[in-house]
Structures are given as C-alpha cells and as structure tokens.
Amino acid sequence: MNLASLSARIVACRRCPRLLAHCAKVAREKRRAYRDEAYWGKPVPPFGVARPRLLVVGLAPGAHGANRTGRMFTGDASGDWLYRAMHAAGFASRGTSVRKGDGLRLLDARVTAPVHCAPPDNKPAPKEIAACLPYLAEEIEGCRRLKAVVVLGRIGMDAFLKAWLLAGRPPFSPKPPFLHGGEASAGGVTLLVSYHPSRQNTQTGKLTRAMLEGVFLRARKIISG
C-alpha cells in the first residue's frame, strides 16, 4: 500500500453525499472563533508514518477540528487529549496538535478513522461507515509491521473489527468486549480498547488523562517486547 496514494483517494472520495455536504456547509459557515481561517472541508486522510507498529483508530473528524485543519485529531480538545497521551508514551514528538505545520510528528504510529468525513452530530450512518470501511481495510492490509492497535470508542472498535476481517486478518476470538483497558490478540497484533477522548467522556470523568495514557504506555510496552 502506498500511503500517499491512499490519502489522495480518500480526499477525492465522493461516496457519501450527506457527509460531503455537511463538511462543506461547516466550512462555509465556520465557528465564530475560527471565522478568519480557511477550513479544509473535505475528507481527512490518515496521519502518521508509512510503516507503523501502532495504529490508532478513532471514529470520524470533528466538525471544527480535523474538518477545519485537515489533520486527524487536530484543532480540538479530543486531539489535545490524544496527542498528550501519545507523547507521554513516546509516539508523538509533542503533546499538542494545533494545525498542520505545527511541528507535530508521529513516531512509529499512525492515526486514522473508519469514517473520513465529519458527520452531523458526530454520528455517521451505518451505510456511511460501510462505504468508508474499505479504506481502513486497505490500511490494515498494508500495515505489515503492526504490533498494536488502540481503538477509541465503541463504534470505532466495531468498525475496526469489521475492517480487520475485510483485510483478511485472523479474527480476534473471542470478540473483545468494549471495556476501557481491554485487550485481545490475533495474528501477532494486540488490540487495546479505550474510551474516546470526547468532551462527553473527559468532562464527566469517565475518561481521565491517567486512563488514556495508561493505554498508550501499555502499547509501548507491547511494541518494545
């Protein structure tokens, strides 16, 4: 798999008219705090290295985060939580993600999603997840050095498991339950489950920074052998 080619095809994708219309609408109307910025307003490609040993799978770009900046988990609170945890475990060069060109580099890792367009109310329709899933399967198929996967949220986990099988990988058996800190293994790859670092989880205390960092520190331990 050529990551640059895959990214170009994702950006040019027109499979889901509802999502494309929503991304463009948000980019036109903008949020007041970002009214002077040019929004990306298109499908957001994966972010990270070409041959990762860690794959991080979210759900979809945020309307005023990745849909604005054009980079996964960048420009919103969820991204700040994610990259701070990845930085603590040595997977990111810095703990903040503001915009493209801010100096953030991922180390031995890639961040992606089963849905590459920002959905209304952060809820992609099942048919939209299904339409986008072949891209994630292609990523998985091309990640031959993969040792660990961190899935963020239940929907992201369920979509990843479907893409994993679509990529021809051996099934996780039994299917891992959705439980923060849960683990499962298949074909030499360990799946690590985390709650999504959304405001709904972080502001209520359902997910703490220590909990999220713990998942990535566990991924580091697995990769380091």
Cβ count near 204 (within 10 Å): 9
Measuring CA to CA, which residue among 60, 221, 23 is closest to residue 152? 60
Residue 175 has a pLDDT of 82
Number of other residues whose CB lies within 10 A of the CB of residue 70:
21
pLDDT at 59: 97
Long-range interactions of 199-206: CB distance < 8 A, separation 24+: 199/77, 199/78, 202/77, 202/78, 202/81
* Sequential DSSP letters for 166-210: HTTPPPPSSPPPS-TT-EEEETTEEEEEE----HHHHTTTSS-HH
- Mean pLDDT, rounded, for 73-99: 97
pLDDT of residue 128: 98
pLDDT the model gives residue 95: 97
Class of domain 3-224: alpha beta
State both tokens at 82: 């994610």
Domain boundaries, the chain: 3-224
**Nearest-angstrom CA–CA distance, 65 and 77:** 8
The H or E element that residue 112 is part of is strand 109-112
Q: Residue 62 and residue 137: Cα distance in Å, rounded?
A: 22
Give 92's pLDDT tier (boundaries 50, 70, 90). Answer: very high
Task: Quote the tokens at residue 86.
Answer: 């990845």
Averaged pLDDT of the chain = 97
Are residues 213 and 88 in contact, defined by beta-carbon separation less than 8 angstroms?
yes
What is the model's pLDDT at position 173? 80
Average pLDDT of the residues in 181-209:
97
Average pLDDT over residues 62-88: 98
Model confidence pTM above 0.85: yes
Residue 14 has pLDDT above 80, yes or no: yes
Banded model confidence at residue 70, pLDDT cuts 50, 70, 90: very high
User: How far, CA to CA in Å, does 202 sit from each of 100, 123, 195, 199, 208?
Assistant: 25, 18, 9, 5, 6
149, 190 Cβ separation under 8 angstroms: yes
pLDDT above 80 (res 1): no
Cα angle 153, 158, 159 (rounded to 5 degrees) comes to: 100
pLDDT band of 87, cuts 50, 70, 90 = very high
The pLDDT tens digits of the residues spanning 20-66 come to 999 999 999 999 999 999 999 999 999 999 999 999 999 999 999 99
pLDDT of amino acid 105: 98
